[in-house]
């Protein structure tokens, strides 16, 4: 692995003393994250729309949809594995090499899904291979997030970490925008062509994006914060174990804060599409347009909210977003349940495009500021990916199950959304404000528990 890191540095043209623009690094992190999230989200869109018809044809439509969403959740179950593996090496040999590897793994897995035979062709092996590729996707994204965030945050000027750290966050709505836009275009095909080969285009096209992303990531340097740790030979021996020993409180609170973020995104970005199509009988293109518009708003607003968190604090921006999300849960589904296009779009866009970015934007900087440099890659990845199992991966399954139990009504799920919002707000209240914290103290100071837990 160390030799691989050296080779990555040589290919990337790293030179001692070379100046690197924080804006360039943030943009590179954003583009790379967009590509990875596009790959991840096209699976979620396909799971909600077509995988029950292609890979689970031996089941009833309702059960097939739940099982398809369960395979979507598998990607989240494997993400903690990726966060531990890549976090370990990211904290020991560097952020950059891990970002190259995760992008490569994601690209291969996504491209392979586009080539998979369906259940009608090879039977049970079709869903088995599908789940295997989903596991690889999850491992890749599990390692991706921490590295992309830290490249931006650790390069950011003092007082601007919220703004620069929000750029990798833009990768989520941007990836969703590309994924929903791609499926929206492919949905224009006749249904028979869409089911036979059209859906595959979305997966196969990702290989071109991966090549672009690999080129961009080879141009950026290792972060100054990690370079300083490496030069002092102060790398953690086993970062995950050290994280558990020194900062368990931050890990638990960070996961609690994450819950409503993951719920919000998957409730409207993934589940709502399936609900609108399957329960309300609305054409899938209509639902996808609503998500696409919301994602476009998110691309613009996430850096805005990130910048506001530099001025007013991470907790205030996030807290306002979470409170608004809880209050708008009922109105949003009242609008969606009308079945009227403009009102459905309004429900999705306000929740996913305007409110959600306020929750998500400050988190990259907030989590980076919670953890010491020596375990920061592992800490940020663990918070995001371990909580992602219940916060994100299980949300479509829980939603579909509650809706099925309620006979097609969304209100049990809406109640679940409000409860989760309250839990995340409680975790936020117990968390320290971090936006004025120095994330590059001396090594001696950094190892003092007091400096980590101070409010």
Alpha helices in 50-160 (DSSP H): 51-54, 61-92, 95-113, 119-122, 125-153
197/71 Cα distance (integer angstroms) = 21
Q: Which residue has the tokens 């097609």?
A: 408
Residues 6+ apart with CB under 8 A from 418: 326, 329
Largest CA distance in the chain: 65
- Determine whether 318 is exposed, middle or buried from the number of CB atoms within 10 Å of its CB (0-12, 13-18, 19+): buried
Burial letters 101-117, b for 16+ CB under 10 A, else e? bbbebbbbbbbbbbebe
| Domain 19-453: CATH superfamily, name plus number | MFS general substrate transporter like domains (1.20.1250.20)
pLDDT at position 224 is 66
- Estimate the crossing angle of helix 314-337 against helix 341-348, to 10 degrees: 160
CA angle centred on 187, ends 184 and 189, rounded to 5°: 135
pLDDT at position 8 is 46
pLDDT at position 442 is 47
The Cβ-side half-sphere exposure at 230, using a 13 Å CA radius, reads 15
Q: Where are the domains of the chain?
A: 19-453
pLDDT at position 18 is 47
- Estimate the crossing angle of helix 239-246 against helix 248-266, to 10 degrees: 100
pLDDT at position 39 is 79
445/440 Cα distance (integer angstroms) = 9
* Beta carbons of 87 and 128 less than 8 angstroms apart: no
- Determine whether 452 is exposed, middle or buried from the number of CB atoms within 10 Å of its CB (0-12, 13-18, 19+): middle
98/133 Cα distance (integer angstroms) = 19
pLDDT at position 1 is 55
- Tens of pLDDT along the chain (455 residues) come to 555 455 444 444 444 344 567 777 888 778 878 887 887 778 877 877 788 788 887 677 777 777 777 777 787 788 888 888 887 777 777 667 787 888 888 888 989 999 999 888 898 898 889 889 988 988 888 887 777 888 788 888 888 999 999 998 898 888 888 887 888 888 888 888 888 888 899 899 888 878 887 787 777 766 666 666 666 656 667 778 888 898 899 999 999 999 999 999 999 988 898 899 888 999 888 988 998 899 999 999 999 999 999 999 999 999 999 999 999 999 999 999 999 999 999 999 999 999 999 999 999 999 999 988 788 888 888 898 888 888 887 888 899 899 989 988 999 999 999 999 999 999 999 999 988 887 775 444 444 443 333 43
pLDDT at position 309 is 96
- Estimate the crossing angle of helix 411-430 against helix 314-337, to 10 degrees: 180
3-state secondary structure 375-395: HHHHHHHHHHHHHHHHHHHCH
> Which residue, among 356, 426, 351, 38, has the nearest Cα to 166 in the 3D structure?
356
- Determine whether 323 is exposed, middle or buried from the number of CB atoms within 10 Å of its CB (0-12, 13-18, 19+): middle
Q: In the numeric block, which tokens belong to residue 368?
A: 């980076």
Q: Could you give the C-alpha distances from 433 to 41, 149, 369, 392, in angstroms and in order?
A: 32, 19, 9, 25
3-state secondary structure 278-333: HCCCCCHHHHHHHHHHHHHHHHHHHHHHHHHHHHHCHHHHHHHHHHHHHHHHHHHH
Backbone angles phi, psi at 378, to 5 degrees: -65, -45
- 0.85 surpassed by pTM: no
pLDDT at position 221 is 67
> Which residue, among 212, 205, 203, has the nearest Cα to 45 in the 3D structure?
203
CA angle centred on 352, ends 348 and 354, rounded to 5°: 105
* Beta carbons of 366 and 256 less than 8 angstroms apart: no
User: What DSSP designation does 20 have?
Assistant: -
- Determine whether 401 is exposed, middle or buried from the number of CB atoms within 10 Å of its CB (0-12, 13-18, 19+): middle
């Amino acid at each position: 692995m160390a030799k691989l890191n050296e080779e990555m540095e040589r290919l990337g043209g790293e030179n001692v003393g070379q100046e690197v623009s924080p804006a360039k690094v943030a943009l590179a992190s954003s583009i790379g994250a967009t590509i990875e999230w596009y790959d991840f989200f096209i699976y979620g869109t396909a799971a909600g729309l077509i995988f029950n018809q292609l890979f689970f044809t031996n089941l009833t439509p309702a059960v097939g949809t739940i099982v398809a969403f369960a395979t979507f959740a598998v990607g989240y179950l494997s993400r903690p594995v990726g966060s531990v593996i890549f976090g370990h090496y990211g904290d020991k040999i560097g952020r950059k090499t891990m970002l190259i590897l995760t992008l490569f793994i994601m690209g291969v897995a996504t491209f392979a899904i586009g080539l998979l035979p369906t259940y009608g062709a090879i039977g049970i092996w079709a869903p088995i291979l599908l789940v295997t590729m989903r596991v690889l996707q999850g491992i890749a994204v599990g390692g991706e997030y921490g590295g992309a965030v830290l490249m931006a945050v650790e390069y950011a000027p003092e007082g601007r970490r919220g703004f620069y750290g929000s750029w990798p966050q833009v990768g989520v709505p941007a990836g969703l925008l590309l994924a929903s836009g791609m499926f929206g275009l492919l949905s224009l095909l006749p249904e028979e062509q869409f089911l036979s080969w059209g859906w595959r285009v979305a997966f196969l096209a990702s290989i071109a994006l991966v090549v672009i992303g690999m080129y961009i990531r080879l141009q950026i340097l290792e972060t100054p914060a990690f370079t300083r740790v490496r030069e002092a030979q102060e790398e953690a021996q086993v970062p995950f174990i050290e994280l558990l020993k020194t900062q368990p409180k931050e890990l638990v609170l960070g996961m609690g804060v994450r819950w409503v973020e993951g719920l919000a995104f998957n409730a409207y970005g993934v589940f709502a599409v399936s609900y609108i199509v399957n329960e309300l009988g609305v054409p899938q293109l209509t639902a996808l347009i609503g998500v696409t518009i919301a994602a476009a708003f998110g691309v613009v607003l996430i850096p805005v909210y990130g910048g506001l968190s530099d001025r007013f604090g991470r907790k205030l921006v996030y807290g306002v977003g979470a409170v608004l999300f809880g209050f708008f849960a009922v109105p949003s589904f009242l609008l969606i349940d009308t079945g009227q296009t403009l009102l459905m779009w309004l429900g999705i866009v306000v929740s996913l495009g305007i409110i959600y970015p306020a929750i998500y934007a400050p988190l990259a900087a907030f989590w980076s500021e919670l953890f010491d440099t020596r375990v920061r890659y592992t800490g940020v990845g663990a918070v995001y990916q371990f909580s992602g199992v219940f916060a994100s991966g299980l949300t479509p399954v829980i939603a579909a199950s509650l809706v099925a139990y309620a006979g097609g009504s969304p209100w049990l799920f809406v109640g679940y959304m409000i409860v989760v919002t309250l839990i995340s707000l409680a975790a936020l209240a117990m968390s320290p404000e971090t936006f004025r914290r120095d994330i590059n103290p001396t090594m001696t100071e950094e190892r003092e528990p007091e400096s980590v837990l101070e409010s």
